[in-house]
């Protein structure tokens, strides 16, 4: 049965992996089901503090430290109903998607082997391993560079071969602002687009004036 023609297209949240320098998209991970809730926190970065210089109390050191937390559910039940069309689900359950998420916080095996070879050859200084630039996408107005700070998986059901077929993934993400990456990096320009979008949305808010607050003017 076809969907109602006027029903809105459901967009999915997800993660995009990009090359940190070229900006080439390396992988897209779309969440199977959008979480029911998304927790956000913003820690103000102000110059003034308790007992600080009074002249600095209304000054900012930079953008706030913003974090996201979400729980995503993954279920292979729909795919397992049509095994011929979904051989990966039949053979591995939800492990491919879990692995795609998990490898976000792993250096690649090739990089580990390369660094080991350098260390064995007597190289004194080995550059820390660089991962891809990760973008958290939650609608067109929220495309933001992030670093994964928390990651946990609860596997809730298994097939006869002990492949997980239902799981819940909890993610903690920290927004990378220009304070973290600077303005010249690809991540910096993406962050600025994100903040500028916030400012454009804020400009759309219609101020009700002072009357609803019980004031005719500021005393």
Please report whether residue 81 resides in a domain.
yes
Please report whether residue 211 resides in a domain.
no
pLDDT digit string, tens, across residues 143-190: 999 999 999 999 999 999 999 999 999 999 999 999 999 999 999 999
Q: Which tokens belong to 45? A: 């970065």
- What gap in Å lies between CA 192 and CA 175, rounded to an integer? 12
Please report whether residue 37 resides in a domain.
yes
Degrees to nearest 5, angle at CA 76 with 105 and 83: 125
The pTM of this model reads 0.86
Residues 6+ apart with CB under 8 A from 25: 16, 17, 18
Please report whether residue 87 resides in a domain.
yes
Count structural domains, the chain: 1
| Structural domain range at position 137 | 14-108+128-199
Please report whether residue 51 resides in a domain.
yes
pLDDT digit string, tens, across residues 177-219: 999 999 999 999 999 999 999 999 999 999 999 999 999 999 8
Please report whether residue 59 resides in a domain.
yes
Higher confidence at residue 15 or residue 81? 15
- What gap in Å lies between CA 114 and CA 54, rounded to an integer? 53
Strand order in the sheet with 65-75: 25-30, 14-18, 133-137, 143-158, 164-175, 65-75, 39-43
Q: What is the pLDDT of residue 1?
A: 46
Please report whether residue 68 resides in a domain.
yes
């Amino acid at each position: 049965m076809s969907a109602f023609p006027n029903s809105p297209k459901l967009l999915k949240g997800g993660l995009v992996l990009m090359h940190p320098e070229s900006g080439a998209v390396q992988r897209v991970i779309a969440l199977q089901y959008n979480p029911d809730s998304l927790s956000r926190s913003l820690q103000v970065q102000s110059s003034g503090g308790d007992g600080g210089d009074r002249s600095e109390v209304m000054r900012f050191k930079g953008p706030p430290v913003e974090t996201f937390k979400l729980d995503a559910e993954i279920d292979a039940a729909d795919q397992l109903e049509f095994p011929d069309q979904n051989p990966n689900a039949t053979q591995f359950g939800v492990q491919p998607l879990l692995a795609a998420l998990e490898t976000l916080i792993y250096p690649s095996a090739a990089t580990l082997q390369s660094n080991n070879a350098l260390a064995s050859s007597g190289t004194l200084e080995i550059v820390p391993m660089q991962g891809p630039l990760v973008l958290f996408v939650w609608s067109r107005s929220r495309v933001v560079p992030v670093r994964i700070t928390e990651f946990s998986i609860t596997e809730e059901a298994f097939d006869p071969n002990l492949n997980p077929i239902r799981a819940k993934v909890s993610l903690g993400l920290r927004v990378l602002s220009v304070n973290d990456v600077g303005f010249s990096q690809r991540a910096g320009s993406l962050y600025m687009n994100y903040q500028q979008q916030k400012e454009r949305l804020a400009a759309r808010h219609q101020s009700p004036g002072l009357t609803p607050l019980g004031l005719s003017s500021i005393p």
